[in-house]
Amino acid sequence: MYKIVRKKELNSAVTLMEIEAPFVARKAKAGQFIIFRVDDKSERVPLTIAGYDREKGTVSIIFQKVGLSTELLGSLNEGDYIQDFVGPLGKPTDVEGKKRVCVVGGGVGCAIAYPSAKAFKEAGVETDVIVGFRNKDIVILEDEFKEACDNLYLMTDDGSYGEHGFVTVKLQQLLESGRQYDEVLAIGPIPMMKFVSKTTEPFGVKTIVSLNPIMVDGTGMCGGCRVTVGGEVKFACVDGPDFDGHKVDYAELMNRNTVYREREAEVRESHKCRMQKMAEELIK
Amino acid sequence: MANMQMTKTPMPEQDPNVRNHNFKEVTLGYTPEMAMEEAKRCLHCKKPLCVGGCPVNIQIPDFIAKVAEGDFAAAYEIITSTNALPALSGRVCPQETQCESKCVRGVKGEPVAIGRLERFVADWYRENVNAMPQKPESNGIKVAVVGSGPSGLTCASELAKKGYAVTIFEALHTAGGVLVYGIPEFRLPKAIVANEVEKLKAMGVEVMTNMVIGKVLSIDELFDEMGFKAVFVGSGAGLPMFMHIPGEELKGVCSANEYLTRINLMKAYKEESDTPILVSKAAAIVGGGNVAMDAARCAKRMGAEKVYIVYRRGEAEMPARLEEQHHAKEEGIEFMTLTNPVEILGGEDGRVNGMKCIKMELGEPDASGRRRPIPIEGSEFVLDVDTVIMSLGTSPNPLIRSTTPGLETNKKGGIIVDENEMSTRENVFAGGDAVTGAATVILAMGAGKKAAAAIDAKLQNK
């Protein structure tokens, strides 16, 4: 069992949790992920590591309540325990041998972009960060990002905060202004990663994206997370989750991520009953 | 007086048309009367060949003699003195190629039902006695076991008996390896696996789940930081293969490992499980091994009206156990042999809506000694399916070999070991599928047992 030692609502839909998991904390690196399971009946869900404290033996995760399992996790509080928490899984972000990079984060993907930006900065790499949100209300980690980069560009789709426009608008501007990057790292919704890659392609800038396919075990034994990169089949859980953004088949990834959509909607309905039941039992 | 009946005492089973709608165990096991009757068929050969056919050398005639007398507790003691997991091996061993293949009663008629008797004894003990084993006196020497599948559980059990302080590291959240994620409940109830793990814990074995060795700890760290004196690697062969044909990326295509893990480990067949599973009207399972049979029978139980086994060779060449093929057919699985997929077809919604196959014929034997299947030109046809489950085999996971310097592997990724299961790294032993590639539960158990003896010999300088 793994204890939730801290819980913080970052905005109405996004939650940060710090979980006691000393073995994971010992080895965790930016770009890697964990798999959690709330209780005996729950599914295994991957989440990127948002931070870690090796001395305290804790690992932070940031998640958006988008469905059954994240809602179930979000319903727990400090001092509660979750059944399983395994990691660190996947390959860490490669921070070696770069002079200047741009980290691009979209929405809750910023939670994943943050530790990578921090890792670049700590490795002595000059780091620009572009983060994008739909509107002012869902902005997260602004202060943290300021600490973890040289230049922060904050964008909102509706212009309610920071600069108006998508992250790609800013990225295009920077590249056109002649700014040189050894690498652009994009983390966020699939369309956003696709368009970031399209933006960098004409400039010939190496672009890495962090993919988020459906996973079960996360250790390479099922191939549920397989993606096509440069015409080759890769397992995101062991070969990734970071891949060359110019070579990823995004349409395929988007299609495969919807395979259980109907079932998920169904389960969410029936799950409400389960939450209700749990609540009633607690009142008793 | 021996029972000279030519055939095995039949074992009751659930009716095929009932069982193909539930996940309860198919075979129901012997009653004490049936077991005693079958036990009397054993002739107690002076030189029992059956024992040599068993990879863990159970003293078969001795335990059967006790069954015939009705002393089931004594029979259990005899079996468990050489085999740690009889309830499992009695169910999933291919006895027809092992102990029972050597039985003299099999020369004329059917061999003694050794597997069924072993299973009976183990089940009887669990239901009537279920005493947890005593914790042996500790010698204080720490040994790590990587993986909690059949080889790891056996190795841990043997070492614990000798007094070693054993810790099992398991990557998944439940111990058992293929016994919990691969083999379905209807062939091996998970409560039985859990009971075996509880017995290990009673013997002082520590089981740490959610520990992916190679990620959270390396083999080097197990020695240097954690103080283990030897490591047994029983990490299996869990990496699934795909065909790399067009359409394999469509929604509705998955590996048998994924399909079975969702069903068996994550219990997706139960209403209350949160893990989703493909809902199929018609499913094709590509492959002809035991895993293909398991996946097909699961698909049927999950409500598929049509389930096809698509296999490129003939039925005679199928690697699956005859008993499993037979069970599958009884349950309404259709066998399409000498057939190979060439493309998976999808609709605009990105879902599978058919599979283009080609008919095959058998040519000359290939390197494996089996006749090579050759496509018959112009024989393509489309099979009407909405789910395709690839069951083409698995290979050893690269995680441990890629993080352990000096650990040599062969070109198929199997860890290279000597005749004592010792790898090329000092005090690192390995066994089971991690060495051989996908094989059987009992061979893995045999390897675990042998490695335990070798570890003991090495650490005690015997």
pLDDT tens track for B72-120: 999 999 999 999 899 999 999 989 999 999 999 999 999 999 999 999 9
Smallest Cα–Cα separation from B15: which of B327, B374, B408, B251?
A: B327
Residue A179 three-state SS: coil
Q: How confident is the model at residue A264 (pLDDT cuts 50, 70, 90)?
A: confident
Supply the mean pLDDT for chain A: 92
pLDDT for the residue B158: 95
Asked if the C-beta of A94 comes within 8 angstroms of chain B's C-beta atoms, the answer is no
Supply the mean pLDDT for chain B: 94
Q: What tokens does B317 get?
A: 């060449």
pLDDT for the residue B398: 85
Q: How confident is the model at residue B137 (pLDDT cuts 50, 70, 90)?
A: very high
Kindly determine whether residue A249 and residue B249, on different chains, have CB atoms separated by under 8 Å: yes
Strands of B180-226 (E only): list them. 206-208
Residues of chain A found within 8 Å of residue B350, distances taken between Cβ atoms: 255-256, 258
pLDDT for the residue A7: 97
Residues of chain A found within 8 Å of residue B172, distances taken between Cβ atoms: 217, 219
pLDDT in tens, B376-395: 999 999 999 999 999 999 99
Kindly determine whether residue A86 and residue B212, on different chains, have CB atoms separated by under 8 Å: yes
pLDDT for the residue B368: 75
pLDDT for the residue B462: 65
Residues of chain A found within 8 Å of residue B173, distances taken between Cβ atoms: 37, 44, 83-84, 86
Q: Which residues of A222-244 are buried (b: 16+ CB within 10 A; e: fewer)?
A: bbbbbbbbeeeebbbbbbbbbbe
- Tell me: cis bond preceding B133? Omega within 30 of 0 counts: no
pLDDT for the residue A268: 65
Interface pTM, i.e. ipTM: 0.91
- B237 within 8 A of B395, measured Cβ to Cβ: yes
Angstroms from A58 CA to nearest CA on chain B: 14
Instruction: Give the whole-number percent of chain A exceeding pLDDT 90.
Output: 85
Look at residue A115 and tell me whether its pLDDT is greater than 90.
Answer: yes
pLDDT for the residue B41: 96
pLDDT for the residue A283: 62
Q: Smallest Cβ distance to A89: which of B173, B215, B262? A: B215
Report the range of poorest mean pLDDT among B67-81, B343-357, B367-381.
B367-381
Angstroms from B177 CA to nearest CA on chain A: 11
Q: What is the arithmetic mean of pLDDT over B175-180?
A: 96
Smallest Cα–Cα separation from A209: which of A178, A175, A179, A244?
A: A244
Q: Smallest Cβ distance to A222: which of B216, B258, B399? A: B258
Asked if the C-beta of B216 comes within 8 angstroms of chain A's C-beta atoms, the answer is yes
pLDDT in tens, B395-415: 998 888 888 989 999 998 999
Kindly determine whether residue B215 and residue A68, on different chains, have CB atoms separated by under 8 Å: no
Instruction: Give the whole-number percent of chain B exceeding pLDDT 90.
Output: 88
pLDDT for the residue B130: 85
pLDDT for the residue B10: 95
Kindly determine whether residue B239 and residue A87, on different chains, have CB atoms separated by under 8 Å: no
Angstroms from A102 CA to nearest CA on chain B: 28
Longest dimension (CA), chain A: 66
Q: What is the arithmetic mean of pLDDT over B161-170?
A: 97
Angstroms from A91 CA to nearest CA on chain B: 10
pLDDT for the residue A277: 64
Kindly determine whether residue A221 and residue B257, on different chains, have CB atoms separated by under 8 Å: yes
Q: What is the arithmetic mean of pLDDT over B145-159?
A: 96
Angstroms from A175 CA to nearest CA on chain B: 34
Q: What is the arithmetic mean of pLDDT over B364-385?
A: 90
Pairing of strands A226-229, A207-210: unpaired
pLDDT for the residue A197: 97
pLDDT for the residue B403: 87
Q: Smallest Cβ distance to A216: which of B251, B258, B399? A: B258
Look at residue A232 and tell me whether its pLDDT is greater than 80.
Answer: yes
Q: How many CA atoms lie within 13 A of B322 on its CB side?
A: 4
Residue B14 three-state SS: coil
Tell me the CA distances in angstroms from A95 to A98, A101, A183, B56, B393, one per residue in order. Answer: 7, 9, 10, 51, 37
Smallest Cα–Cα separation from B307: which of B295, B316, B318, B319?
A: B295
Beta carbon pairs, A and B, within 8 Å: 116
Which of B215, B218, B222, B273 is best to mutate for the A interface (most A CBs within 10 A)? B215
Q: What is the arithmetic mean of pLDDT over B13-38?
A: 96
Q: What is the arithmetic mean of pLDDT over B26-49?
A: 96
Residues of chain B found within 8 Å of residue A267, distances taken between Cβ atoms: 274, 276
Asked if the C-beta of B264 comes within 8 angstroms of chain A's C-beta atoms, the answer is no
Residues of chain B found within 8 Å of residue A239, distances taken between Cβ atoms: none
pLDDT for the residue A48: 93
Report how far residue B117's alpha carbon sits from residue B122's, in angstroms, rounded to the nearest whole number: 9
Query: Nearest residue of A to residue B172 by CA position?
Result: A217
Look at residue B27 and tell me whether its pLDDT is greater than 90.
Answer: yes
Asked if the C-beta of B242 comes within 8 angstroms of chain A's C-beta atoms, the answer is yes
Q: What is the arithmetic mean of pLDDT over A247-253?
A: 96
pLDDT in tens, A167-179: 999 999 999 999 9
Gyration radius of chain B's alpha carbons: 23
pLDDT for the residue B289: 95
Residues of chain A found within 8 Å of residue B248, distances taken between Cβ atoms: 233
Residue B65 three-state SS: helix
Report how far residue B412's alpha carbon sits from residue B406's, in angstroms, rounded to the nearest whole number: 17
Gyration radius of chain A's alpha carbons: 19
pLDDT for the residue A66: 86
**Which residue matches tokens 């075979």?**
B27
Q: Smallest Cβ distance to B215: which of A88, A233, A260? A: A88
Q: How confident is the model at residue A166 (pLDDT cuts 50, 70, 90)?
A: very high
Tell me the CA distances in angstroms from A65 to A108, B24, B103, B153, B461, one per residue in order. Answer: 10, 36, 61, 39, 57
Name the H helices within chain A: 22-27, 68-74, 110-122, 142-147, 167-176, 190-200, 236-239, 250-256, 261-283
| CB-CB neighbours of B14 under 10 Å | 16
